Chains A and B, each alone.
Chain A
């Protein structure tokens, strides 16, 4: 099965608008997974109807039994995340759930209790199945939740004979990005022509290379700055990366979003046309072949 992940390094380059357009154009031939679990936006454009909701439990949170605790301070002393206060209250944001406190407690007063830190959903959209999630405010373990969403997407695709899992990835290069990238057969990198855009694009290219995933680049709003569009093009040439799409700046992408629509459903303007062309190339497996 093809697993196409849309990434960017830098946030706000247009990953979600482009991914949602692909899902719309695919005519029910794929499963889409929103793996940007701490800032999920795909649902605003694809209007999923939630069919199943599941709690996400990734780690445990220590619970200290006040009757057994002798206030010896060992747990506070050993914790490397400063997650236990001097009054033996747990800082549930700082705690990583490693359980060292429970091991060091001489009175066995600490038990690790499972903690729900978000939810994930199996849904249906007008264009096919969608898996998405929402991490609770300020929670960790986003990488594990990404893996969960992606795995479920893959299972649904397999069971329903769809041959493509389309993944809307998170910004950055850290653990949720690596989780979204693992197992991917190809990555589309959406870049913005600016000094920051170029800098972050180089980083995400390095990450994809590190995990051996073939990449293609789409330059979004390419007409905003021709100098940096050329810089991205020459960087791509040097790295032998195909530039598979040039999407022009189009204010209607924003107006479509405000109405909860993808640009390809909203109009047939310059951005919609460019995204259609890009999808025609990608759905033929252009990246995989490179």
Chain B
């Protein structure tokens, strides 16, 4: 039905809080699919009692050189823009962490000596709880490339559900990969210098991707009006203003969902849900 992404330039502004609580609230009346696309620091699963869970590896192709056929011509290493393959005398070194799995080396090899074999760089986790389905991705520590994991998570999106995506912080490849193609993107920020600076970059990214945007100002009482003024200038809809609140902070710290514990917060998230629906219809 609709794909809603939660992102932010700055980390620690409350993306996960928004995505998980919204998922819980919306799943009371509809099938919700929550995707954890913050694959370098996936935390959504900590807030639910998923059981049982199922895991599958995420693989990317990595070049493998047949030294019987290779004559050390070096065409592969000249063609590789990522410096992931290099020829030293009779040896060919492949650097898996630099490889983007583009396939150039295999294509250009004049002796057909380069093939590709799968390499595991992370895992997908599938789980469910009532009317909520969950898919999370996790990049193994030491692995650099998050986008293939995020793509694998997003391949599980099925039409008919409400899909909520929790994206990685920042405005570079992993964040872009997560929100690309979404119907709406909620940018969570805070009313501070860092919050505004990073929000401006996130808005630039969202607009470049052509995704409609709405803003949530978290900890709205700890800061000033610079983010409000920016949103006003840029005609960005402010979907919600969440106060700094001890109940919320405590729930978050312990891995609980504040909408399960507080009527006030249920109301706030209900209003946020409505504001997003309004935004999806092009009202925002």
Contacts and interface: CB of A to CB of B under 8 A. Distances in A.
Interface string A166-210: 000011111111100000000000001111100110011011001
A9 B253 contact: no
B79 interface: yes
A41 B204 contact: no
Contacts of B168: 171-172
A10 B223 contact: no
Nearest to A104: B107
B173 A41 contact: no
Interface stretch (B6-14, B26-34, B123-131): B6-14
B253 A173 contact: no
Nearest to A200: B41
B145 A175 contact: yes
A199 B10 CA distance: 19
Interface stretch (A251-259, A265-273, A280-288): A251-259
Contact of A97 (B81, B144, B146, B253): B81
B193 A138 contact: no
Interface string A210-234: 1100000000000011011000000
Interface in B130-166: 139, 141-146
Interface stretch (A11-19, A122-130, A151-159, A236-244): A11-19
B172 interface: yes
A165 B237 CA distance: 41
Contacts of B194: 16, 41, 44, 257
Given A174-B139, A195-B46, A11 B12 contact: yes
Contacts of A254: 192, 222-223
A23 B205 CA distance: 30
A91 to B, nearest CB: 10
Interface in A2-51: 9-13, 16, 37-41, 44
Contacts of B281: none
Contacts of B252: 194, 196
A139 interface: yes
B102 A138 contact: no
Contacts of A195: 43, 46, 253-255
A178 B252 CA distance: 28
Contact of B97 (A59, A97, A177, A178): A178
B43 A93 contact: no
Given A98-B102, A203-B40, A41 B12 contact: no
Contacts of B43: 10, 195-196, 199-200
Nearest to A14: B12
Contacts of B180: 93
B81 A59 contact: yes
Contacts of A176: 172
Contacts of A84: none
Between A140, A172, A194, the greatest number of chain B beta carbons within 10 A of the residue's beta carbon is seen for A172
B113 interface: no
B238 interface: no
Contacts of B198: 39, 41
B193 A258 contact: yes
B277 interface: no
B2 interface: no
Nearest to A93: B176
A196 B13 CA distance: 13
Contacts of A172: 40-41, 146, 168-170, 174
B150 to A, nearest CB: 10
Contact of A174 (B145, B204, B208, B250): B145
Given A100-B102, A137-B207, A207-B142, 6 more contacts: A137-B171, A170-B170, A174-B139, A195-B255, A206-B141, A210-B142
